[in-house]
């Protein structure tokens, strides 16, 4: 008996020691193939910076559909990793729709904050039902709040792909939010004016979005005429310049100022329409208009940097829709119709800017040629293989919606629409007569980037009741496109010094249960998991009882 109590005592002592040791020493082992539970160095560095509490509220709790339950589990595991890097990071899961009597008011409040719900169809035991979920998280720190979208939609994606895409971007989404909420010194972005660029109201949503990361100012090139040196000096104070759909030709002096801004290290995003054509131009009695080449006097400028924007139009069988009205007065009907001049462009490579990106909508885009020179050219977005190029001048007619496209004619696709240029830029005016004298000019600059996009409308948000809508949202078809994410990623990439955007390249593959097989084989696996253990227990009892009777019976 004494030995028995000694053994029990030793066992308890060992158990106690193991618990104390486990409490003192924290260790986790990520044995997944793609190490999806291991944070990148950038994420660890950013998470470690907080000296005050960071509270993360994840709006994913309650009775969730399987797809979102999986997303919740992955979010939970990822946030545990963040919390393990810094004790100031706390998180909790909340069901915003827990109180059924407050559902409508809570939904209105959340949508007022810009949190879009996800409506999903759930099939269970052959029955279909609709559920509403808010797949968002709110990161709170020092009286500031940043919204984090958890669900990554992609047109045509299966449930498995949607979960994979969402999980794949979780680390970047949370790291980006933590970085954004802890910015101490914002970089400067200039919105270039003076050449008929888009009015502010059409840029409002995008500029509002990037204001969380950067300070924004306007620079007008009109002042180049009176004081070019001052304009250049002011421009040099900005880290990046956005040129959004200019419609008036640049003078050589203006080009030279922009050139010297770039050669001196300024990043730039050019959204250029090389053809004059708007959908509104077709809303006349004839239903047609002439698409004409646009003269922006930038051909030689872009040629020196290695690209040529062509005065043509991309006609693509991967299109977005427009809405046309039929009938009159109260009998009017609005019908979505295919519009081949508005390509729906999917990313085709793993570049951090476009990896895992929703389809981007272009409107009357023109093609870009990349030219041989020392600079690196990366094609971020291009038209589909089933597209073709149409020269201008050309009459565009709404009646094309009544003519089925001939697939064989769409054989000139994969045309570049967005090109990232990188390298040690030489001045476009090198070995040329300079249009004016400036102080501090350079012939060859340091490593730099420039993004050229062949559609000025890519950055343009729609307007409803005088107020700007979210960039990428089409009020006529109620569809969302990835325009804002593409541009936001682009600017973050161009101005990202710590490589945070590279987290977007992380690959994650999650094994997903096949719902069809679950339905078909549900009874089989229930029997195996529940019936078989019971049967084995009964069998063991029967055999044991039989054995006892044989051995001890008279």
Question: In order along the chain (554 residues), what is the average pLDDT of each group of 10 residues?
Answer: 73 82 70 76 91 93 82 91 92 88 86 83 68 90 91 74 83 92 92 96 95 93 93 96 97 96 96 95 89 95 95 95 78 84 91 91 96 95 95 92 90 95 94 90 93 97 94 92 94 85 75 70 83 88 86 72
Beta bridge partners of 138: 57, 147
Separation between Cα atoms, residue 393 and residue 523, nearest integer Å = 66
293: left (phi over 0), alpha (psi -120 to 50) or beta: beta
Edge-to-edge strand order for the sheet containing 288-293? 275-276, 288-293, 394-397
| Predicted TM-score (pTM) of this structure | 0.84
Q: Identify the pLDDT of residue 122.
A: 66
CB 418 within 8 Å of CB 454: yes
Separation between Cα atoms, residue 317 and residue 412, nearest integer Å = 12
Distances (CA, A) of 167 to 136, 163, 357, 507: 13, 6, 13, 9
Quickly list H helices, 372-514: 483-495
Q: Which among 269, 256, 265, 205 is positioned nearest to 480, based on CA atoms?
A: 205
CB 80 within 8 Å of CB 90: no
Torsion angle of C-alpha atoms 11, 13, 16, 22, degrees rounded to 10: -90
Distances (CA, A) of 521 to 70, 462, 511: 21, 49, 18
Separation between Cα atoms, residue 451 and residue 397, nearest integer Å = 32
Q: How many CB atoms lie within 10 A of CB 389?
A: 15
Q: Identify the pLDDT of residue 36.
A: 72
């Amino acid at each position: 008996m004494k030995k028995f109590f000694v053994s029990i005592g030793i066992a308890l002592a060992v158990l106690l020691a193991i618990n104390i040791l486990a409490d003192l020493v924290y260790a986790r082992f990520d044995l997944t193939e793609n190490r999806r539970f291991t944070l990148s160095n950038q994420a660890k560095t950013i998470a470690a910076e907080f000296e005050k509490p960071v509270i993360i509220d994840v709006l994913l709790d309650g009775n969730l559909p399987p797809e979102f339950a999986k997303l919740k589990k992955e979010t939970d595991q990822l946030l545990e990793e963040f919390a393990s890097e810094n004790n100031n990071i706390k998180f909790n899961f909340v069901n915003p729709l827990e109180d059924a009597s407050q559902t409508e008011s809570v939904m209105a409040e959340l949508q007022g904050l810009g949190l879009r719900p996800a409506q999903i169809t759930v099939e269970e035991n052959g029955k279909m039902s609709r559920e509403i979920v808010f797949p968002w998280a709110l990161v709170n720190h020092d009286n500031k709040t940043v919204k984090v979208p958890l669900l990554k939609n992609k047109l045509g994606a299966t449930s498995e792909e949607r979960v994979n895409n969402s999980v794949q971007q979780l680390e970047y989404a949370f790291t980006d939010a933590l970085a954004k909420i802890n910015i101490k010194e914002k970089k400067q972005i200039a919105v270039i004016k003076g050449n008929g660029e888009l009015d502010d109201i059409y840029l409002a949503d995008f500029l509002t979005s990037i204001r969380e990361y950067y300070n924004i100012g306007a620079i007008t090139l009109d002042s180049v005429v009176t004081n070019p040196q001052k304009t250049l000096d002011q421009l040099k104070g900005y880290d990046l310049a956005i040129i959004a759909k200019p419609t008036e030709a640049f003078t050589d002096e203006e080009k030279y100022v922009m050139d010297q801004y770039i050669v001196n290290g300024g990043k730039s995003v050019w959204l250029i329409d090389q053809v004059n054509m708007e959908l509104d131009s077709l809303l006349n009695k004839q239903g047609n208009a002439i698409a004409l080449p646009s003269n922006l006097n930038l051909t030689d400028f872009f040629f020196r940097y290695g690209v040529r924007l062509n005065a043509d139009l991309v006609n693509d069988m991967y299109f977005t829709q427009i809405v046309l009205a039929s009938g009159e007065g109260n009998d009017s009907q609005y019908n979505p119709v295919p519009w081949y001049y508005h390509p729906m462009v999917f990313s085709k490579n793993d570049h951090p800017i476009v990896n895992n990106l929703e389809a981007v909508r272009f409107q009357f885009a023109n093609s870009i040629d990349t030219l041989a020179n020392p600079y690196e050219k990366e094609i971020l977005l291009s038209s589909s293989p089933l597209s073709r190029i149409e020269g201008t001048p050309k009459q565009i007619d709404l009646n094309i919606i009544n003519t089925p496209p001939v697939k064989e004619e769409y054989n000139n696709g994969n045309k570049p629409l967005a090109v990232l240029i990188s390298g040690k830029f030489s001045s476009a005016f090198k070995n040329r007569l300079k249009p004016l004298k400036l102080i501090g000019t350079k012939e060859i600059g340091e490593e730099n980037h420039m993004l050229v996009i062949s559609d000025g409308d890519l950055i343009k948000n729609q307007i409803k009741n005088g107020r700007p809508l979210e960039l990428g949202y089409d009020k006529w078809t109620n569809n969302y496109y990835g325009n804002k994410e593409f541009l936001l990623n682009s600017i973050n990439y161009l101005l990202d010094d710590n490589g945070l955007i590279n987290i977007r390249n992380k690959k994650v593959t999650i094994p997903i249960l096949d719902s069809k097989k679950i339905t078909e084989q549900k009874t089989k696996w229930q029997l195996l998991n529940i019936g078989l253990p019971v049967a084995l227990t009964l069998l063991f009892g029967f055999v044991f009882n039989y054995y006892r009777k044989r051995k001890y019976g008279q």
